[in-house]
Amino acid sequence: MGDFPPPERTSVKASELVHRAVDKSYEDFRTLIHQLPTMREEERREPLLAHLQSSRKRFAQLLAVLKWSVQSPLLQQCDTLLQQTETYRNNVNETNDRLFFMHADLNRAKERRYDLSTAADVLYGGSYLRLPTIIKNAMFPRELPEVDTEQAATEVADIIRFRLIEADIPEQFSNIKLEGGFVTCQAEGEFEIVLTIQGKEKDAKWRVISVNTALTDAQAFEDHSQAASTSALRIIRSNAPNAAHYNHLKNLVQRAMNKSEKPFVDAFMNHSVKMQSSSGGVRVPSCPSEKGIVVDCQNFAEKLRSTLSEMASA
């Protein structure tokens, strides 16, 4: 609400208005009577006419006020409402001012709430007992219980052995070796995969540990080095897959095995069938010639890179 000046709260009786109007007209008439003898005859008309007009106007206004005064009860109610509204506005403004100063005083008057329970724990117990467990474990990791590694390796080997009996293994895996909780599946002249199991559950997934091909196998390279020249061996080494290729290939095989009901079959298909689709075969022959080793190595490396790039983009 705006800061308007408060209206006057006065009321006048109707009889007092009539008396004031009559007295005013009488005084004006007496003054005019004293002035008329000093005027000439033709000059007296104008003052008399002005007095009559002003008196007539005054009594007409008085008549209008008296007729309008019949609504005085309604005006009384409006006046009461205005007074109450003014009082309410003053109270609201005063309350706002008091709250503002009280808020400023509370900042100076408030007392700090001391954590007495924590202080008692630290002083008498030497430690904070209410620290959340997750924070305590992060600060002071729990020591794992001692485990018999030999017994654990034996249990894992037994689980893998039973899973191998139940699984469909392609005949191309000519050499399967189980040792130390890891199973090595080797396709002679092509590649080998090292796997393990992720848990004791019946539906536990196979995990691919590593993937190697014959192109980077030291034993296979030594067996074939006698039949190849120095230039051929240099070509084989320059086109052999690197660690990044093997890591990406391992991820692709892992993804295929996780989605397959026959993981070993899909593991072989991801290595062998896709690599031989367009190059006419990349198998390293058991008794190769120099030309055969170079061609197979180049085909394998080229197909491996193209396959990895295609599957990565997909």
- Does any domain span residue 114? no
Structure tokens at 239: 């086109």
pLDDT: is 2 or 205 the higher one? 205
- Does any domain span residue 53? yes
Whether 70 and 171 map to the same domain: the answer is no
Measured distance CA(265)–CA(272) in Å, rounded: 10
Dump pLDDT digits (tens) for 214-273.
766 666 666 666 666 666 666 666 766 777 877 888 888 888 888 877 777 777 666 554
- Does any domain span residue 134? no
Dump pLDDT digits (tens) for 133-172.
888 777 777 777 787 778 888 888 888 888 888 888 777 7
- Does any domain span residue 241? yes
Measured distance CA(277)–CA(35) in Å, rounded: 138
- Does any domain span residue 122? no
Whether 198 and 284 map to the same domain: the answer is yes
Q: Which pLDDT belongs to residue 57?
A: 92
Quick check: 191 and 212 in contact, CB under 8 A?
Answer: yes
73-79: average pLDDT: 82
pTM: 0.42
pLDDT: is 114 or 303 the higher one? 114
What residues make up the domain containing 34? 14-105
DSSP the chain: ---PPPPP-----HHHHHHHHHHHHHHHHHHHHHHGGGS-GGGSHHHHHHHHHHHHHHHHHHHHHHHHGGGHHHHHHHHHHHHHHHHHHHHHHHHHHHHHHHHHHHHHH------HHHHHIIIIISS-TT--HHHHHHHSPPPPPP--HHHHHHHHHHHHHHHHHHS---TT--EEEEETTEEEEEETTTEEEEEEES-SSTTPPEEEEEEEEGGG-HHHHHHHHTTS-HHHHHHHHHHS--HHHHHHHHHHHHHHHHH-SSHHHHHHIIIIITTTTTTS--PPPSS--HHHHHHHHHHHHHHHHHHHHHHHH-
Q: Which pLDDT belongs to residue 125?
A: 80
Whether 195 and 301 map to the same domain: the answer is yes
- Does any domain span residue 296? yes
- Does any domain span residue 137? no
Domain count, the chain: 2
